[in-house]
Amino acid sequence: MSTETRGRGRIASTALHTTLVLASVIAIFPVAWILLTSLKTDRDTWAQPAELGTLGVDNYSQVLFETQFGSWFLNSLIVAAGTTVVSVLISATAGYAASRMRFPGQRPLMWLFLVVQMFPAAVLIVPLYNLMANLGLLDTHAGLMLAQCTVAVSYCAWMLKGYFDTIPVSIDEAGRIDGLSPFGAFWRLIIPLAKPGIAVTIFYSFITAWGEVAFAGVFMQSEGNYTLPVGMGTFVSAFTSEWGLLTASSILVAVPATVVFFLVQRHLVTGLTAGGIKG
């Protein structure tokens, strides 16, 4: 290899690593800034970002023990877990049916799932609100779960249908020959093979429900039933500016999402890529 070629290789390598470092700094900076702000105990320093001030965990103590953060956290956990379970069960069965069975309206159904994703939440709030009011589900966990499933199920069903298409139909046929029912083949043979796709839908459903604020802000009307995004909004308003509490709660909110990510991250890349191979 010539000296000129090696020189070009070093320049390209340096440029690549510099770009990666800059991208990493840009990605980490907002999180680091929020973490630093959450540790500032002097209110005057929030308006002066250049000053470090006194650091401590007073904001975290106040959030945990002097606000309804615990109730909001529990509400969000119940809603996110319930939404995840319901949406994954429905989307898995719907995706499997669309992948393996032939019935009238199959293709329009899948396009309908895709079109639903194009509607913003603001368009759905009014009809969903009227429906929840008629069913007596306003200000309840069950009502908010059903509302959030309208967003999660359509995307998850579409994605799982593409993933099920990558699993050979011969596996289903072998199960039927061995005496399994269609549901038995689906549950005992296909679901274990579809773990990467299921992991992606679990992660998407949980994150969507965990951070959702549009439906929760309208349907949950009592402060004791607020979810975390809605409750955190009360820290900063036209009358109060508790930036320390808001940033501290933001760090705490990220913990469950991070835990879920690490639990399913082994399957995420496989699930995201396999579903797009065939569909």
CATH code where residue 205 lies: 1.10.3720.10
- SS3 breakdown of the chain: % helix, strand, coil, rounded to 5? 80, 0, 20
Residue 54 maps to a domain: no
Nearest to 247 by CA among 28, 75, 32: 32
Name the CA radius of gyration of the chain, rounded: 24
Quick: pLDDT tens for 33-55. Answer: 888 888 887 766 656 666 666 77
Average pLDDT on 123-146 reads: 90
My answer on whether 21 and 102 are in the same domain is no
Q: Which two tokens mark 205?
A: 């459903």
In a domain, 53, yes or no: no
When pLDDT is cut at 50, 70 and 90, the band that residue 173 belongs to is: confident
pLDDT, tens digit, 9 for 90 and up, residues 250-277:
888 888 888 888 877 776 665 555 544 4
Residue 8 and residue 118 in one domain: no
Residues 127, 74, single domain; the answer is: yes
Tokens 């090696």 correspond to 6
Residue 216 lies in a domain: yes
Question: How many CB atoms neighbour CB 116 within 10 A?
Answer: 16
Q: How many CB atoms lie within 10 A of CB 139?
A: 15
Query: Is residue 279 assigned to a domain?
Result: no
Same domain, 33 and 68: no
Assess whether pLDDT exceeds 60 at residue 4: no
89 and 135 inside one domain: yes
- Structural domain total, the chain: 2
Q: Note whether 249 and 145 are same-domain residues.
A: yes
User: Looking at the structure, do residues 218 and 258 belong to the same domain, yes or no?
Assistant: yes
Q: Measure the CA–CA gap between 279 and 267, rounded to whole angstroms.
A: 19
Q: Which helix (H) or strand (E) holds 26?
A: helix 3-39
Select the more confidently predicted residue: 168 or 43.
168
Q: Which tens digit of pLDDT belongs to each residue from 95-123?
A: 898 888 887 877 787 788 778 777 777 88
Instruction: Assess whether 106 and 169 both reside in one domain.
Output: yes
pLDDT digits (tens, 9 = 90+) for 54-64: 778 888 999 99
Give the domain extent around 33.
3-39
| Predicted structure pTM score | 0.81
Q: Are residues 19 and 114 in the same domain?
A: no
Do residue 220 and residue 168 come from a single domain? yes
Confirm whether 10 is domain-assigned: yes
What residue type is 206 in one-letter code? F
Task: Of 2-6, 23-27, 110-114, 210-214, give the lowest mean pLDDT range.
Answer: 2-6
Same domain, 106 and 181: yes
In terms of domains, do 66 and 21 share one?
no
State both tokens at 141: 């966990």
Q: What is the pLDDT of residue 227?
A: 93
